Amino acid sequence: MLDCEFTVLAGPHARRKFWQSFTVAGGKVDEQGVSIGWKISKGMFRAMIDSACGLDPKDMSEAARARRVLRGLADLHGITFAAKLRIEPASDPRYGDSNRLDRVVLPGEPEYARIMAGEALPPAPSQRAPRPASAPAAAAPVWANTGAPRAPVATAPAWATPAAMPPAPPPAPAPLANGPAWLNG
């Protein structure tokens, strides 16, 4: 498992944190013997990179492919991307509900530019499967501040600063024999 900590950067819940685990090995496997959880995690990581770099998921040019190459999972540390969160009801009444990463918002989606500009969007149903009946449809996030709303924080994404992202990507290095080939294509 990869245990991740996420920090909200903009909007009324700026500086709030939530945690989520991703499967990197094990669990149920598909017909080829590949971990189903790993395939789901891999797709989420790729979407994070596409969102952070402003890449169209269908863009398979050499430049886009080079931007998606990771040396390892540690390269995801500090990545800034647009996302939609959901509230996951607690399965045990002793614990509170949890915030979860519902999906990564990709370039080309209507709310992408607004999120990346730091605009706080009102809660809306997800484009994914409907919520369980026990979850309120428009509930505030678990960590929502019940006091006065905070002013939106206008920050540029970390990957958009010249120091963090060169204007032209360097040529792609040859994939390492023992490196992660899972995002190289």
Domain count across the chain: 1
* Whole-number pLDDT of residue 50: 96
Contact 53, 167 (CB under 8 A): no
Render pLDDT for 32-44 as a digit per residue (tens, 0 to 9): 999 999 999 999 9
In a domain, 152, yes or no: yes
In a domain, 174, yes or no: no
Question: Residue 134's Cα: distance from chain center in Å?
Answer: 25
In a domain, 56, yes or no: yes
**Has this prediction a pTM greater than 0.85?**
no
In a domain, 53, yes or no: yes
Three-state DSSP class for residue 2: strand
Render pLDDT for 98-156 as a digit per residue (tens, 0 to 9): 999 999 999 999 999 998 888 888 888 876 644 445 444 445 555 554 554 444 444 44
Nearest to 179 by CA among 72, 75, 74, 77: 72
Residue 96 has pLDDT above 70, yes or no: yes
Average pLDDT over residues 52-57: 94
Average pLDDT over residues 3-12: 90
In a domain, 71, yes or no: yes
In a domain, 103, yes or no: yes
Residue 104: which domain range?
A: 2-160
Residue 88 has pLDDT above 50, yes or no: yes
Write out the two tokens for 127.
């484009």
In a domain, 10, yes or no: yes
Q: Say how far apart CA 50 and CA 17 lie, in whole Å.
A: 22
In a domain, 172, yes or no: no
